[in-house]
Amino acid sequence: MSAEPQNSSGAQVYRRLLGYVRPYLGAFFLAIVGMVLFAATEAAFARIIQPLFDDGFVKKDPGVLQWIPLVIIGIFALRIVGSFLSDYCMAFVARSVIRDLRKQLFGQLLRLPVSFYETSSSGALLSKMVYDVEQLAEASSSVITVLIRDTLTIIALLLMLLYYSTWLTLILIAVTPVLVGLVVYVSKRFRKLSHRIQKSMGNVSTVSEEVIEANREIRIFGGQDYETRHFNEINDHNRRQFLRMAVTNALSSPVIQFIVAIAFALMIFFAFRLELQVGEFGSYLTAMLLLMQHAKRLTTVNATLQRGIAAAQSVFEFLDREAEVDDGHLELAQVRGEIEYRHLDFRYDAQGETVLRDVSLRIEPGQNVAFVGRSGAGKTTLVSLLPRFYDPVAGQILLDGHDIRELSLKNLRSHMALVSQHVTLFNDTIAHNIAYGALESATEEDIRRAAQAAHALEFIEKLPRGMQTVVGENGVLLSGGQRQRLAIARAILKDAPILILDEATSALDTESERFIQSALEELMQNRTTLVIAHRLSTIEKADVIVVMDKGRIVETGSHAELLARGGHYAALHRMQFSEA
């Protein structure tokens, strides 16, 4: 798969979409049977008009007047069966395809690298999962039904028209190139507008999501007027795109139908000159009117088809993005926690600025190593390379002597626990948030012990449902300190040999921080711990402090050694404590 997918033609995209139908060919075949049955009943109804007029009304044959009503009832009964088979089976196929696509999209969300999310809007991604996929549902059910069923019906009716009069039917066929040219032009415009609409819908989702997440900041900083103006601009743009689609649709269908009507008018004119019998003309006229009805439906479905193709292009472009590189096959049952960075260089994109330059560092098993430096020094980036959230452009990282690229991502990350400054909780119970993912098999007693070690049990037991309390989206029902303690409990429960702490006590009050610091010190015993520190007071007891500046390691040593050296660390220390 390529990182930058190429746009495919509409036919290629639709062929790929139809590939998802393959597992449901049985239902699709039944739908086709229903469509053929439906088309046959349309032609049969037009055909029966001739004996009804000639033998029934003109010759007054009583036998004909007895059996024709029964035949008409039979035709419409078969039509109902055909219509049900085609509609239900196509709906079954379509919803099954959409389910499979959503599963693929969700799986892709879990496989894409961290760098993708840092450059993508969550609103646009949600729009793909919801809006684009629903456009595909239309394109893969109602559109296919209309295209196949109405095309089969038109073919059946055309054959009947040819049977009655070749010359009259050739007039109808003569306008086909004009219609095809018009449909091709309109299709291109529909698809162009559909792409704009999808982008516009993504913008609407993004702005709405930002307003929901930042509702407190908006109120405090008086951003309501700005956000209202911003949303109105995007909303109006969205409206304009839909109106352009509506104008194109409103003009194209009547023009196509007008051209067809001219052809039908000419056919009727010549039908009188050919002196057709009353019954023949009645059947011919009925077939023409039915054909016009189905032709009209074919023209109106084009907008939905093009929206579906544009949506499919968007979805397939996402599915074709390059996933995280996971070609390691080594599975380590346990690790000691020896980490070595060797001559690392890193940049976030090929043309971007180098963030880390020739970084080398060895961390012994069980060592507590803190990374400090000014904002943008590269400390978070360096630590993020260990679980392979990113890969270096040069150099290597060794875990117990093995290049981490030799390990599968699942195995590599199973040896690590993370407590981030930005806590992520799921809209689930406290118990499930602590025993998350691979920890879901943990016993209730294990969860309680982890919560107690993180000093979270004291507030959990005060909640109405205790461990079964649902925390809300991203833990909105909890305080910042409570969320942080749950994240620490999750790391304690995982009991991994390598611990990554990104300012893990930043959201705690002074009293809680004292308890948590004590719990973390106990947790860090016999574990390799990497601490990303902003407040130097939290890492004074670290075995080694690594000082970074402009992507390089400029100093290493203990707190006392670095202060005595009077270098970068001492300057940072003076600056922080003078501000305090």
pLDDT value, residue 557: 94
pLDDT tens-digit profile of 428-478?
Answer: 899 998 988 888 888 999 999 999 888 888 899 998 899 999 988 777 788
Last residue of a domain, one of 448, 465, 495: 495
Highest mean pLDDT among 184-188, 218-222, 480-484: 480-484
Is residue 552 one of the residues assigned to a domain?
Answer: no
Instruction: Provide the number of structural domains found in the chain.
Output: 2
Judge if 291 and 429 occupy the same domain.
Answer: no
Is residue 246 one of the residues assigned to a domain?
Answer: yes
Judge if 312 and 451 occupy the same domain.
Answer: no
According to the 3-state scheme, what is the secondary structure of 202-267?
HHHHHHHHHHHHCHHHHHHCCCHHHHHHHHHHHHHHHHHHHHHHHHHHHHHHHHHHHHHHHHHHHH
- List residues bridging with 340 in a β-sheet: 362, 398
- Residue 469's CATH number: 3.40.50.300
Using pLDDT thresholds of 50, 70 and 90, give the confidence band for residue 573: confident
Each residue of 243-281: b (16+ CB within 10 Å) or e?
A: eebeebbeebbeebbeebeebbeebeeebeeeebeebbb
Judge if 147 and 262 occupy the same domain.
Answer: yes
Is residue 17 one of the residues assigned to a domain?
Answer: yes
Judge if 296 and 435 occupy the same domain.
Answer: no
The chain-wide mean pLDDT, for the chain, equals: 83
Residue 21 scores a pLDDT above 60 = yes
pLDDT value, residue 397: 96
Structural element, H or E, at residue 499: strand 498-502
Instruction: Say how far apart CA 531 and CA 500 lie, in whole Å.
Output: 6
- Residue 136's CATH number: 1.20.1560.10
Q: Which amino acid is at 209?
A: E
Instruction: Say how far apart CA 101 and CA 309 lie, in whole Å.
Output: 14
Least confident of 104-108, 341-345, 436-440: 436-440
Last residue of a domain, one of 289, 319, 349: 319
pLDDT value, residue 132: 84
pLDDT value, residue 511: 62
For residue 378, what are its two tokens?
Answer: 């590269």
Is residue 539 one of the residues assigned to a domain?
Answer: no
pLDDT value, residue 191: 67
Instruction: Say how far apart CA 4 and CA 442 lie, in whole Å.
Output: 41
Least confident of 134-138, 383-387, 489-493, 503-507: 503-507
Judge if 296 and 430 occupy the same domain.
Answer: no
pLDDT value, residue 332: 93
Of 574, 535, 566, nearest to 371 by C-alpha is: 535
Judge if 144 and 28 occupy the same domain.
Answer: yes
Using pLDDT thresholds of 50, 70 and 90, give the confidence band for residue 561: very high
Is residue 2 one of the residues assigned to a domain?
Answer: no
Highest mean pLDDT among 186-190, 286-290, 300-304: 286-290
Judge if 275 and 154 occupy the same domain.
Answer: yes
pLDDT value, residue 521: 75
Percent of the chain past pLDDT 90, that is, above it, reads 28
Last residue of a domain, one of 274, 300, 319: 319
Is residue 488 one of the residues assigned to a domain?
Answer: yes
Q: How many CB atoms lie within 10 A of CB 376?
A: 13
Residue 9 scores a pLDDT above 70 = no
pLDDT value, residue 1: 42
pLDDT value, residue 2: 42
* Containing structural domain, residue 453: 423-495
Judge if 305 and 437 occupy the same domain.
Answer: no
Specify the pTM. Answer: 0.74
User: How far does CA 162 lie from the centroid of its chain?
Assistant: 49
Of residues 5 and 578, more confidence is placed in 578
pLDDT value, residue 213: 63
Of residues 168 and 391, more confidence is placed in 391
What angle, 0 to 180 degrees and rounded to 10, lies between the N-to-C axes of helices 142-164 and 133-140?
A: 20
Q: Are 316 and 360 in contact (CB under 8 A)?
A: no
Instruction: Say how far apart CA 307 and CA 190 lie, in whole Å.
Output: 7
pLDDT tens-digit profile of 416-435?
Answer: 998 887 788 888 899 998 98
Is residue 364 one of the residues assigned to a domain?
Answer: no
Is residue 341 one of the residues assigned to a domain?
Answer: no
Judge if 453 and 315 occupy the same domain.
Answer: no
Residue 276 scores a pLDDT above 80 = no
